[in-house]
Amino acid sequence: MDKKEPAPVKSEVPTNQSAPKPTLDASRSDVDRRLVQHAEPSVERNSDFRYTKRLKREILKRAGLGLLHEGDDVTHPVYHRGALFVKRTIDIAGSITAIVLLAPVWILVAILVKLTSKGPILFVQDRVGQQGKWVRTLKFRTMVVNAEQRLQDLLDSDPELRKQYEQFHKLESDPRVTPVGEFLRRHSLDELPQFLNVLGGSMSLVGPRGYLAYEVMKLKDMDRILKV
């Protein structure tokens, strides 16, 4: 006896709008490379990927997702309210603990940055975070204050250096980095102020680094699938 396909999901929406696609949940183990390779990015804000005909049915069967239809959204449980609450609680507790325990290091680094080069102690940079929101990330300053102008002068005077920067968007031996800044970068101490970002809710202890504007422009659709 053939199994009947489930009835389509009905939704009360105005006639001039398309009905929203049904959303299904998948466990963490289901969101793997094989799934992603056969999925397309969803236009929904809280969906990880969208089911298409290329999504192998044997993978769905193994995952216990049952029968999906083209256009259905599959969401990651990290977006569930309970999971988000736990994650946020850990972020707050972890960032406060780090700020308190590392306070002497913060003070020492701030003094070194201020005494060894002119300019502010902190460097503020705008990055693109979750769901395309702009985030002002904080770091201890590791470069000279006129870093952008100095970079432009260097690139204008050295074609090879320009080629290197256009390829990697960084210089192997960047003359703009201060001696203290080089030490901070080597030991990732320049990123300590980002615990303030975590405490404020614009960043998380676990998750990808926010993108710079030029990096977002280079992202392909498949690079936007997982938005943790």
146-159 pLDDT, tens per residue? 888 888 888 888 88
Q: Is there a single domain that holds both residue 192 and residue 115? A: yes
pLDDT tens for 1-41 read 544 444 444 434 444 444 444 444 444 344 444 444 444 44
d(CA 133, CA 210): 10
pLDDT band at 214 (very low <50, low <70, confident <90, very high): low
Q: Is there a single domain that holds both residue 108 and residue 57? A: no
CA dihedral of residues 10, 12, 14, 19 (deg, nearest 10): -30
Q: What is the DSSP letter of 61?
A: H
Q: Is there a single domain that holds both residue 72 and residue 105? A: no
Is residue 51 predicted with pLDDT exceeding 50?
Answer: no
Q: Is there a single domain that holds both residue 73 and residue 36? A: yes
In a domain, 28, yes or no: yes
In a domain, 51, yes or no: yes
- Is the pLDDT higher at 112 or at 125? 112
* pLDDT reported for residue 24: 40
Residues across the chain: 228
Q: Render the burial of 52-64: b for 16+ CB within 10 Å, e for the rest.
A: eeebeeebbeebe
CB 199 within 8 A of CB 96: yes
Q: Which two tokens stand for residue 159?
A: 């074609």
**Structural domain harbouring 48:** 23-79
CB 123 within 8 A of CB 141: yes
CB 114 within 8 A of CB 121: yes
| Direct distance between the N- and C-terminal alpha carbons of the chain, in angstroms, rounded to an integer | 42
pLDDT tens for 91-116 read 999 999 999 999 999 999 999 999 99
* Residue closest to 40 by CA, chosen among 227, 228, 223: 223
Q: Is the pTM of this model over 0.95?
A: no
Q: Which helix (H) or strand (E) holds 137?
A: strand 134-140
Q: Is there a single domain that holds both residue 111 and residue 209? A: yes
pLDDT band at 141 (very low <50, low <70, confident <90, very high): very high
As for how many domains the chain has, the answer is 2
211 SS3 class: strand
Q: Which two tokens stand for residue 213?
A: 């504007």
Q: Is there a single domain that holds both residue 107 and residue 63? A: no
